[in-house]
Amino acid sequence: MSSEILMSLYIFMLAVFLGYQLISKVPALLHTPLMSFTNSISGISLVASLVAAGADYGQTATILGCVAVTCAMMNVVGGFLITDRMLKMFRKKTGAGQEEAN
């Protein structure tokens, strides 16, 4: 293996380890802001994958760009659905005898 591949593999393994350590230490109260932040990062990766899919770099790059667009969109939509569901847990529920304030 070349030194470039080994260095890239080392960086990837380090990023996976650090990412796991950081996410596992986040308290439950901070999950919603963290999810919103990851949604913004997914949006950035979506723009980059659209550029890769639309640019004329060859058929392989276009196919991989389309796969990246699909994965990024699923991540963004899923993240927003989860964030919305988590935020609904913190809303006050109105009882049968109470009226909603407008």
Given a contact cutoff of 8 angstroms between Cβ atoms, the answer to whether 68 and 47 are in contact is no
Q: Radius of gyration (Cα) for the chain, nearest Å?
A: 20
- In this predicted model, what pLDDT tens digit does every residue of 18-72 receive, in sequence order? 888 877 777 766 666 666 677 777 788 888 888 888 888 889 888 988 998 998 8
Residue 32 has what pLDDT?
63
pTM of this prediction exceeds 0.75: no
Give the count of beta carbons closer than 10 Å to the beta carbon of residue 38: 15
State the Cα–Cα distance between residues 92 and 58, nearest whole angstrom: 53
- In this predicted model, what pLDDT tens digit does every residue of 8-33 receive, in sequence order? 889 889 988 988 887 777 776 666 66
Instruction: Kindly list the domain boundaries of the chain, sorted by start residue.
Output: 31-88
